[in-house]
Amino acid sequence: MPYIIMKRNDIPDGTLQVLDMEPNESQRNLTVDPPGQTKYVNAAENDTVVTTVLGGGEEVMHRSADGLAAWILTNINDGTGAAGTGTFTIAVAAPILAGDTVTVGAQLFTAVAGARTSGSNDFSIASGTDPGIATDLAAAINDPANGLAQPGGLSNLVTAVPAAAVVTVTANMDGAAGNLVLATSNAGGFSPVGMAGGVDAGPVATADANGGADAVLALFAFGDLTAAAGTLTLGDINGALLGGAAITAAQLPDVLNLLAGAKYEVPRGVQIADGGGVWNVQPAVGAVDGPGFVEASNRALFLNDGLPLSFVIGELAAYRDSAFVYAGVAGDPNGEAVVVYNDDGTLFTP
């Protein structure tokens, strides 16, 4: 969805409302119309976050906080994490026989003479070649029907990539927990090298969360009547963040929604890092008593005729005008109230 973002900081929440985009919330047909686009345009929240370190070394929220810096602290880490890797090296000359096993973490895979069966945690040695067996073993490890799928429908714990006789196994998430044991009943035939190199990330430093949030707000010149708003693309936002923090493409909608006025809350006492300095938000984001967005705190926009018309000749056009008047002050350069963005953070044009 597009995003209407408040640029000025001198307009109180609940003041500017866009009423000329259909469907209007108060007039829509509840049976056939989507949720209304009538909405107040509120400024992005950005409380200064303050954390404290407890006696056991845990870093927790010293007080509750809402907004962008709080979101940064609880949704992205300092980028120091790394994924563990390990290998199996195939050698048919060992020899390799049906019934041989390899183990990835807690999951056992068994060699079979015929074709492998998805969901049976087996792999085929029928090719009789090092590359052929490596390819089939990697396919078995990657098969989501086998035992390495994560709970809740998430991706497999690992990804296996064959190259000639070697199968490289890489954890799909950063952290020491991804350093899985690789084992076999036939050391000569599969030569496992256990997974290593998985490193847990640390939290974004509190000062960097606050400074990075301010730098993101500066991208669209929030509160600055003399500068024009810039873009809010993934690259722009990651260029503004500090302390190794970076968002993913999947997180960009959350950031844009927050900047458009959605409310994100982090309660007092939420853990940011555990006693070992590992980024570990508890309760987790979205959990009961944990950080999260307040439902329906920002209303969606739709790319129907209403948005472009409002943008060009309607209420949005007036709010975007550099001579927009609020509280009796007219004619300020770039005194527009709002900026409209596309889904990718580029400036909206009809």
Q: pLDDT digits over 259-280, tens only?
A: 999 999 999 999 999 999 999 9
pLDDT at 152: 62
Which two three-digit tokens encode residue 246?
Answer: 């970076």
Residue identified by tokens 């009809």 is: 350
Cα–Cα distance for residue pair 185/229, rounded to 1 Å:
63
pLDDT at 226: 86
pLDDT at 323: 86
| Residues lower than pLDDT 70 in the chain | 23-30, 33-39, 151-154, 296-303, 329-332
The H-or-E segment that residue 340 falls in is strand 338-341
Give me the residue spans of the domains in the chain: 3-79+203-341, 85-196
Q: How far is CA 88 from CA 25, 95, 213, in A?
A: 60, 15, 44
Q: pLDDT digits over 207-222, tens only?
A: 999 999 999 999 999 9
Opening angle at CA 250, ends 244 and 253, nearest 5: 100
For the chain, the first-to-last Cα distance in angstroms comes to 14
The H-or-E segment that residue 328 falls in is none
Q: Collapsing DSSP states into helix, strand and coil, what is residue 189?
A: helix
pLDDT at 330: 64
pLDDT at 291: 97
